[in-house]
A and B are shown apart, each in its own frame.
Chain A
Amino acid sequence: GNSVTQMEGPVTLSEEAFLTINCTYTATGYPSLFWYVQYPGEGLQLLLKATKADDKGSNKGFEATYRKETTSFHLEKGSVQVSDSAVYFCALKNPGAGSYQLTFGKGTKLSVIP
Chain B
Amino acid sequence: ETGVTQSPTHLIKTRGQQVTLRCSSQSGHNTVSWYQQALGQGPQFIFQYYREEENGRGNFPPRFSGLQFPNYSSELNVNALELDDSALYLCASSFLGGQGALYGYTFGSGTRLTVV
Contact = CB atoms under 8 A, between A and B. Distances in A.
Whether chains A and B associate is yes
B33 A104 contact: no
Contacts of B90: 43-44
Contacts of A102: 35, 43, 45, 105
Interface residues of A, number: 23
B40 interface: yes
B58 A101 contact: yes
Contacts of A89: 42-43
Given A43-B110, A44-B107, A100 B41 contact: no
Taking residues whose C-beta sits less than 8 angstroms from the other chain, chain B's interface range is 20 to 34
B109 A42 contact: yes
Interface of B: 4, 6, 31, 33, 35, 40-45, 48, 55-56, 58, 90, 92, 99-102, 105, 107-110
Contact of A43 (B42, B45, B100, B107): B107
A100 B107 contact: no
Contacts, number: 56
Interface of A: 4, 36, 41-46, 89, 91, 93, 96-107
Given A44-B43, A100-B45, A107-B42, 11 more contacts: A41-B109, A42-B110, A43-B90, A46-B105, A93-B102, A97-B101, A100-B31, A102-B43, A104-B43, A105-B42, A107-B40
Contact of B45 (A45, A101, A105, A106): A101
7 residue pairs, one from A and one from B, having the closest CB atoms: A97-B100, A104-B42, A101-B45, A43-B107, A43-B109, A100-B56, A44-B107
